[in-house]
Amino acid sequence: MNDSNLDSKQRLAIYRRMVLCRKFEERVYYLFLEGRLPGTVHQSAGQEASAVGVCSALAEGDVITSTHRPHSHAIARGLPVKSLMAELFAKSTGCCRGKGGSMHLGDLALGMLPAIAIVGGGIPLATGQALAFQYLGKKNIAACFFGDGAANIGTFHEAINMGAIWNLPVVYICENNKYGASTSVEKVMKVEHVSTRAAAYGIPGMTIDGNDVEAVHRAMSSAAERARGGRGPTLLELETYRFSGHSRSDPGHYRPQDEVAAWKQRDPVGLYEKALTDHGVLTEEAARQISASVEKELDEAVKFAEESPSPAAEECLSDVFA
Amino acid sequence: MSSPETQIPAAQTTARKLTMVEALREALREEMRRDDRVILIGEDIGVEGGFGGAFTVTLGLAEEFGHRRVIDTPISEAAIAGVAAGAAAGGLRPVADVQYGDFLFIAMDQLANQAAKLRYMSGGKISVPMVMRAPVGATTRGSQHGQSLEAFFTHVPGLKVACPSNPYDGKGLLKTAIRDDNPVIFFEHKLLYGSKGARKEAGGVEVLGHVPDQEYLIPFGQAKIARPGRDITIVANLLMVHRSLQAAKILAERGIEAEVIDVRTLVPFDWDTVAESARRTRKLMIVEEDNLTGGWGAEVAARIGDVCFGHLDAPIRRIAAPDTPVPFAPIMEKFYIPSMETIVATAQELVSNY
């Protein structure tokens, strides 16, 4: 991590954000088990380095698009955890006022389009956001998250090609977590790396260790700089792994135990904690303090969500049209 | 909802006769001059030496506004719709375009799941002010270039649907669509375009219409009584307005005064005008070029039947295309599209028997 330009303060902020993502998902897991949250949930524990590494390279006014697995993206982008938790509780104080839920977390004013839960559906939208930035002469970029599954849907091809031919300020970020629901990526893709497909659009593509947050940050920083400078999109493939099943009800029996164990050895939060400790950036005491402050933030978020009012049933009828 | 400012009756203005294509082009040009956020995005719309979109609507606009604002795309309908929606959420007012309405099925996720729902899913925080223009109607091109698609889109909450039958409405409604803060699906009928040169459409219908010099807008949700009458109400859109008006002339010769209502927009729908007319004439029929089952006319029949039950003297009758794909052979296509003769016979039957 010596070749990174991050200072200690930034590193600790990144670490804290990753811990927040992890502990948020742990809370959500137990809240679901206790039956306190409606609906379903697609958890992202294990993918914190990708979410935080990408978003730590963004500037104010940049916009991310996300997927049906958006919790860490939203936290990494800096949306208030209270408003995210309240949305999961289906409360009117949620970031989508109870109309979105887990799969549509977002707040455009804070730099995140409501997450798009149709696989690949957000890729054209991110490209359109980038078109608006370019047209309006803004120096902002769109960062478009999607999974390995989305690399095989038509909008991937259509939208990345458009982003490429118009040199749009967008970075396409494939979080390759090796499985589309229960289907191994090897069964549905002949090429080893999604990033090689960048060649088909004449843009740079690279595969990065998606569990190394500073490697992600570096790759995203240079892709973002390129996009901001008018030189067009990059396709980043971040290799990572989700520790949970696909969704709430999935125990993940299709994944070999030794594979899961090997990836858990490469837990992105643990890896970064060790790296920071080894480099003297993080002390045991500081780690404890960060953990405690995150727990407190989550306690407050859950309390806020529980005490928030539910929307009136009739609010179902509003917000269809502007 | 944006509320349009003006509507100038054609009679009070300088009369010019334009084709639908010219009227739509003028609407685009005026709105692009008025608002720099309006951009056009579609296939073959601004290519030098090209044809200005499949039916010449955008011809010449790239010369005036440049390729920054008239954006030619790859053949990628899903991305055209989605990029337009994303750009709309990002502060632009894109007018997207497909060459044939049939291609909207490729873009269906982006229109029905993304553009239509972004506002709702965000709890009202996002607006998607985009227009999706699409030519519809059977014109001897067979099953994949001739469908009428209104019903698919009227069914999606969050989308508005416009379907002008004449140049005056086309211009006024398109300007309103561009200024609307919601996604609008804007259907144009190929036989009403009046495209010229190599893009001229055989069998075009009354393609010229009065369009004032002065600027005007036509509000959404206001149907027009295209011909007043006391004996029966005929509700129609697009080409079927013209077929219904022709039928009304024949019916008048036989002593039956049919009232023809041009719906102009399907979402929002002007329920009041249709219900008032149906109560007055006590008989209602609906004419559409879409397939019968689940067409927009079914919704009109159900709702008007509900609110006008005691005022109707006859069953509500629907005339629509049969439940088949659009055929190619002209003799079959003629059979497929609701004809003036069928409208006359149905109206006569309702008036005589009830």
State the ipTM, two decimals. 0.95
Q: Do A135 and B92 touch (CB under 8 A)?
A: yes
**Which sign, positive or negative, has the C-alpha torsion A27, A29, A31, A36?**
positive
Average per-residue pLDDT in chain A? 96
Tokens of B19: 């084709």
- Dihedral pair phi/psi, residue B109, rounded to 5°: -60, -45
Residues 111-130 of B with CB under 8 A from A: 113-114, 118-127, 129
In the sheet that holds B258-262, the strands lie side by side as B224-227, B258-262, B232-236, B284-291, B317-321
**Contacts of residue B73 in chain A, CB cutoff 8 Å?**
162
With an 8 Å Cβ cutoff, are A159 and B83 in contact?
yes
pLDDT tens digit sequence for A149-187: 999 999 999 999 999 999 999 999 999 999 999 999 999
Q: How far is CA A124 from CA A143, B83, B109, in A?
A: 12, 5, 11
pLDDT tens-digit profile of A109-145?
999 999 999 999 999 999 999 999 999 999 999 999 9
Across the interface, whether the CB atoms of B79 and A118 are under 8 A apart is answered no
The architecture in CATH of the region B12-210 reads: 3-Layer(aba) Sandwich (3.40)
Task: Tell me the pLDDT band of B1, cut-offs 50, 70 and 90.
Answer: very low
Find the mean pLDDT for residues A53-76: 98
Q: CB of B95 within 8 Å of any CB in chain A? A: no
Six-digit token string for A190: 């002949």
What is the pLDDT, as a whole number, of residue B203? 74
Give tens-digit pLDDT for B20-45: 999 999 999 999 999 999 999 999 99
* Structure tokens given for A189: 């893709």
B145 catalytic? Reply is: yes
Residue B184, chain A, CB below 8 Å: the answer is no
Is residue B2 very low, low, confident or very high in pLDDT (cuts 50, 70, 90)? very low
Encode pLDDT of B78-135 as tens digits.
999 999 999 999 999 999 999 999 999 999 999 999 999 999 999 999 999 999 999 9
Query: In the prediction, which pLDDT does B14 show?
Result: 62
Nearest to B120 among A95, A125, A320 (CB): A320
Token output for A159: 């939208």
Whether residues B90 and A121 touch (CB distance < 8 A) is answered with: no
In the prediction, which pLDDT does A115 show? 97
| A-chain residues near B74 (CB < 8 A) | 158, 161-162, 165
Looking at residue B200, its pLDDT comes to 75
What are A's interface residues with B at a Cβ cutoff of 8 A? 63, 94-100, 104, 106-109, 113-114, 116, 118, 121, 123-133, 135-136, 142, 154-155, 158-159, 161-162, 165-166, 318-322
Q: What distance in Å separates the CA atoms of residue B330 and residue A253, rounded to the nearest whole number? A: 58
Closest partner residue to A320 (CB to CB) among B90, B91, B157 is: B157
The C-alpha atoms of residue A103 and residue A66 are separated, in whole angstroms, by 9
Measure the CA–CA gap between B302 and B319, rounded to whole angstroms: 14
Write down how long chain B is: 354
How many interface pairs between A and B have CB atoms less than 8 angstroms apart? 149
* Cβ–Cβ contact B178 with A under 8 A: no
From A234, A294, A273, select the one nearest A27 (Cα to Cα): A294
SS3 string, A77-90, reads HCCCHHHHHHHHCC
Please give the residue of chain A at the shortest CA–CA distance from B183.
A321
User: Which residues contact residue B82 at a Cβ distance below 8 angstroms, ignoring those fewer than 6 apart?
Assistant: A121, A123, A124, A125, A127, A128, A155, A159, B107, B110, B114, B115
Q: What is the pLDDT of residue A251?
A: 86
Tell me phi and psi for residue A179, to 5 degrees.
Answer: -140, 135
| Chain B partners within 8 Å of A118 (Cβ) | 109, 113-114
Question: Residue A1's pLDDT is what?
Answer: 62
Q: B12 or A6: which carries more pLDDT confidence?
A: A6
Nearest-Cα distance to chain A for B86, in Å, is: 4
Q: Looking at chain B, which residues constitute the CATH 3.40.50.970 domain(s)?
A: 12-210
Q: Domains along chain A?
A: 8-309 (3.40.50.970)
Residue with tokens 């009428």: B148
Tally of residues, chain A? 322
- Mutant choice from B92, B122, B161 vs A, greatest count of A C-beta within 10 A: B122
Binned at pLDDT 50, 70 and 90, residue B7 comes out as low
Residues of chain B within CATH 3.40.50.920 domain(s) are: 224-353
Query: Is A128–B86 a contact, with Cβ atoms under 8 angstroms apart?
Result: yes
In this structure, CATH architecture of domain B224-353: 3-Layer(aba) Sandwich (3.40)
Q: Which of B145, B155, B189, B311 is catalytic?
A: B145
On whether any CB of chain A is under 8 Å from the CB of B335, the answer is no
